Structure 1
Amino acid sequence: MTNIGAFIQYYRTKSGFTQKDLANGICSISYLSKIENGTIEPSHDVIMSLCDKLDAPYEDLISVENEDLHDDIYNLYKLITKKNFNEAKSSYTHLKSMITPFHQLQTLHFFRLIEFYYLVETKQEDAMNQPIEQIHNMKESFTGETLYLFNKILGVYYIHCAYPNKAINYFKDAERILVEYSLKDPDLYYLLAATYTRMEEPVLSNHYCQVAKEQFIGEFFYPKITDCYVLFGINYTLLKEFELAKQYLFQILDSRPMMDSELVTANLKHNIGFMYCEMREWKKAIPYLEDAIHSFKSFYEKLHSYHLIAKAHYYLQEIEQSVSYIEQGEVISKRINDVKLKCQLEILTAQVNNEVGESSFVEKAENKWIPYLTEVGERHTLKELYRILGESLKERELYKLSSYYFQQLAKESI
């Protein structure tokens, strides 16, 4: 049932009226106060008079909880999931103008959840900076499919925050609900696959990626089919099966209609650059990473390419170019507060300055970066840090400590 008092109070405050101003010629001030407090139900004539004076459409009051609004919010979710951000922006702006405090709490929370999803997926700083507890506290409002969306969206948020260990728990909870309610959402299987890739579990990732790909093929959803092929390429890169990785990645690069987006192309070229970095073919990696940097629109995407290209120049002993890209990356990482990339850039800076084996860096690695990378589940960077520490300490003839880090690397590689 619509909260009439909240509706009237909202528009009165919005119009700048006092209770005395609004009540004048319609009812007493005390009567209006009781309406706003919800202690009485006003007559139809009084409601109409108040709405007219406030220029608040009576139709909004009587239809505020219709099913169309819920459907409109859900349609916004679908637009975001399909990366149709131009239409999503229009839909979001329209819904935001309609949503007011007098809507039912479940409706308000559902909109806030999908609004949060929109802000996260469009990589707006407002989403990453707001207290996540506000979203967590809405959980009790959701059941069934909306609870599924709650878990899925929280998982997406933690992936953007570089917390795959947290993301996977939400995605697995979403998967349980998906099965229980016989829902179909290939995007969830893709997200599970992408998260396992981040956790350096390529075999598990390939399982979920295959499920997602088959369902996307059934929907003729070519952009997502492309994403699956890219993910297969990344996974085979992690498995050191580079010929298979090349087959997947270059198949997409040469294909149509899969390559129908500048963002898709940029992401693909970044991952080809990543593959060549893993193959230690640094010169081949650089042009792909340069293309990715020029094509990416978002600072979040550019930052990963800055790190890889700086790394490639370092291993080619092109220190000046490496430092230039590190500095550009550091400016962006501070702006968007990407902790994982800050870590990677600090490690690379220490390599450039030949500081990796120094006690101050080892101490920082032990007290800050190793615990952080372990907690969030960023195994790829953690393994790389162990390898770098082991090699650097070996060069300094600190064999016992070097052996310790190589042992840690072996444990992570099992």
Structure 2
Amino acid sequence: MHKGKIIKHYRMISELTQEQLSKGICSVTHLSKMERGLTDCSDEITESLANRLEINMESELAKFESIPKMLFYFHDNLILENHHEIELVKDHLEESAYLIEISTYKITYALLKIRYLIYKGQMKEARKKIKKLGKAQTQMSSYDRNLYKHIVGILKLAIHDNLEAIEELQNIIPQEYPIKEYYYHLAMAYSAIGAKVKSYYYAELALAYFEETSNFLGVIDAKSLMLIQRGRDNDAYYKKVIDDFNSVIKLCNMCEDEKRKAEVFHHIGDLYYRSENYLEASQYYLKSLNLKPLTSKYLASLNGYANASYHGKLLGLSELNRIAQEGLDLSKKIQDLFHSKKFKLKTLLYKNKSTQYYKFIESDALPYFQLKGYLYTIQYYEYELFKYYCRENNREKATIIAEERLKYQLYHY
């Protein structure tokens, strides 16, 4: 049945009518039925039509039959971040796009092209395309529906919608979807909302999958995420966790992966920050910043550097305000609303605009952080408000904040 569709593709390229192509070979009606997949065609007729179109049908069919294998290879290399192979197979798939269009893998290919956009950091374009594909979910195979949920989950994580990411990723059916990489993305989302036990659990499952599939970079990611949870579990234990992170840095050096090394530097900075060793924290955040492009992850380390410098009194207010303005400008440029609110708060704080600072926390920033589910950010700004209301002798609002904090923690634990 696919032969007829291949013939139609090349007939259209050759700008031939059905009558012109079929003349002396078969009837127009027979050719029409072949092209629509309503009837099979004999080897003799197929060969005659292929010769007139100057194509090798055996070669075309071999390419057609290799499509599922190529798509699997493409997805596998996207997960492995095997840059050279990704580009090679992408080009190969693009050359066979006309065959994919007549196969049952059309949606799979569309989804993997979106995954490729994510790999290239083109999140805006990826979100636009996944939104269009969402309307076709009822037409998807069970594998494609789960792949769709996985990609939506990754995109939700990228824009800090952690609770929505969890909802998408938890709806994946493991029996229908062998790509267990999504365990890692679940672990990331749970880590962001402060669910340490669940994050560690899914990171451990991801680690097993990455080890099984020889995904060395994935192993680094999963181990780092597990160490983050261990560091949060016991502040007195942070020096041992830092030693373990230094072992992960050696793995990054072996892989020549500066991106992951930058993230490990950031995590070490977080550990020093929580232990109130602000000088060490600021130095590690700076190390991280020096290795990062201007993305949301850069903003995270810039935010950490500003926090450590402010609480450690390492920089003056004018320099801190410059840093805050840099973060605010970049977050607006790349449309990162999460960091935009954080740096807006910093500009108010560093300029001593106390009334506006607390008003912005209460009316804008805190409701947004609660909606996205960032537990540690929520806890910090709830405590800021609580202290403010206590100083203002506003016991009613201080009590409400305390009750809300307890309710939120109980819900997420």
Instruction: Report the TM-score when normalising by structure 2.
Output: 0.81
Contact 2:278-2:309 within 8 A present in 1 as well? yes
> In the TM superposition, what is the alpha-carbon distance from 1:110 to its structure 2 partner?
0.4
In structure 2, distance between residues paired with 1:143 and 1:248:
43
Contact 1:356-1:389 within 8 A present in 2 as well? no
In structure 1, distance between residues paired with 2:339 and 2:333:
12
Counterpart of 2:50 in structure 1 is 48
> In the TM superposition, what is the alpha-carbon distance from 1:269 to its structure 2 partner?
0.2
Contact 1:161-1:338 within 8 A present in 2 as well? yes
SS of 1:137's equivalent? helix
Counterpart of 1:160 in structure 2 is 158
Percent identity at matched positions?
A: 15
Q: 1:264 aligns with which of 241, 248, 260?
A: 260
> In the TM superposition, what is the alpha-carbon distance from 1:291 to its structure 2 partner?
1.0
Contact 1:310-1:326 within 8 A present in 2 as well? yes
Contact 1:85-1:122 within 8 A present in 2 as well? no
In structure 1, distance between residues paired with 2:28 and 2:363:
64
Unaligned 5+ runs, structure 1? none
**C-alpha spacing 1:97/1:278, structure 2 compared with 1 (3 Å):** farther
In structure 1, distance between residues paired with 2:242 and 2:272:
12
SS of 2:98's equivalent? coil
In structure 2, distance between residues paired with 1:119 and 1:365:
35
SS of 1:238's equivalent? helix
> In the TM superposition, what is the alpha-carbon distance from 1:36 to its structure 2 partner?
11
Q: How much is the aligned-residue C-alpha RMSD, in angstroms?
A: 3.5
Q: 2:225 aligns with which of 226, 231, 241?
A: 231
Counterpart of 2:337 in structure 1 is 339
**C-alpha spacing 1:59/1:141, structure 2 compared with 1 (3 Å):** farther
Q: How does 1:56-67 map to 2 (within 5 A)?
A: 58=57, 61-63=60-62, 65-66=64-65
Contact 2:130-2:152 within 8 A present in 1 as well? no
1:318-364 CA distance string (max 9 Å, x none): 32332232233233322321221222222222322333543x862x5
Q: How does 1:64-213 map to 2 (within 5 A)?
A: 65-66=64-65, 68-100=66-98, 103-104=101-102, 106-174=104-172, 177-178=173-174, 180=175, 185-213=179-207
Counterpart of 2:239 in structure 1 is 246
In structure 2, distance between residues paired with 1:102 and 1:192:
31
1:5-42 CA distance string (max 9 Å, x none): 68645874xx6x7667x9778769x9699689849879
Instruction: Report the TM-score when normalising by structure 1.
Output: 0.81
**C-alpha spacing 1:135/1:355, structure 2 compared with 1 (3 Å):** farther
Contact 1:196-1:205 within 8 A present in 2 as well? yes
In structure 2, distance between residues paired with 1:7 and 1:332:
52
SS of 1:350's equivalent? helix
SS of 2:320's equivalent? helix
Letter paired with 1:270: H
In structure 2, distance between residues paired with 1:50 and 1:242:
76
1:125-146 CA distance string (max 9 Å, x none): 4544515322323433443444
In structure 1, distance between residues paired with 2:145 and 2:247:
40
In structure 2, distance between residues paired with 1:212 and 1:400:
45
Letter paired with 2:243: F
Contact 1:65-1:103 within 8 A present in 2 as well? no
1:199-238 CA distance string (max 9 Å, x none): 2100221222233334544555443333233212322343
* 1:293 maps to 2:289: yes
Unaligned 5+ runs, structure 2? none
Contact 1:5-1:35 within 8 A present in 2 as well? no
